[in-house]
Amino acid sequence: MDANQTLCSDRATAVARTLDAAKLPNQKVQAVYLGQTDRFGSKFPERNQLSEIWQIRPRK
């Protein structure tokens, strides 16, 4: 894993740990590294350093 991938993976893990500490007992938290993105443009790569949080609800 290169340095940027390690940084991104560590960031996702840190966010997951924070959420895990605040979640309800029946909720699950998992860190997933999705890789680099240019979602907010490539001119300012620091703007692309993000974490997404998804809430997945079971089907009823």
Tell whether the torsion through CA atoms of 23, 25, 28 and 33 is positive or negative.
Answer: positive
Distance CA 22, CA 36 (A): 27
For residues 35 and 56, the model is more confident at 56
Rounded Cα distance between 59 and 6, Å, is: 34
pLDDT mean across residues, the chain: 79
pLDDT for the residue numbered 1: 56
E strand or H helix at 14:
helix 3-22
Per domain, the residue ranges of the chain are 3-48
Whether the Cβ atoms of residue 9 and residue 1 lie closer than 8 Å to each other: yes
Residue-level pLDDT at 9: 82
pLDDT recorded at residue 6: 81
